[in-house]
Amino acid sequence: MVEIRRWQFREPTDYMVGYLHDLHYEEVVQWITQENLTKREKREFAGFTLYASIDGGRILGREVTLGRIVGPSNHGQHVHRNSDAFIIVTRGAATLLMGDIQRVVAAPKLIRVPKGVSHGFRLNDGEWFEFVSVQYPPIRDEYTGEEDFHQVDHE
């Protein structure tokens, strides 16, 4: 087990170190203030409320986005074909849907989502879920605005 800035991994890779070397949970949570969020681009996308670059764009080629979901929601699974991500659960709980796996996740929790792996969340009525997504490269292309977001059908 290796610890990187308080995140523990069984087998860390170079890209994990690059993603998280400057992040720790206490700092990430401090970025979630009304003052900081009013400075960031806010948008609604695929059932999420998203706030872009909550870290102030500290590392080129990495995006740190705050996401919020309010239940009821059965946020369908989707894939990012070109982006790896870590999801840092900061508030609330939800059922993580990852492929055929369904597991309740709650703050504080770190979830690794390699590119190409389907994932999503399910929330019941009245539930509220907040997370920070750390993506490399960013899911939304800064030049074209195109999203690396592809719905997946699971029966």
What is the rounded distance in angstroms from the CA atom of residue 23 to the CA atom of residue 104? 24
Specify if 155 maps to a domain: no
Structural domain range at position 76: 2-139
Query: Please, where are the H alpha helices in the chain?
Result: 14-20, 25-30, 34-37
User: What is the pTM for the complete model shown?
Assistant: 0.81
What CATH number does residue 93 fall under?
2.60.120.10
Q: Quote the number of domains for the chain.
A: 1
- Which comes out higher in pLDDT, residue 64 or 6? 64
| pLDDT tens column, 54-111 | 988 887 788 889 999 988 877 668 899 998 888 999 999 999 999 888 999 998 888 8
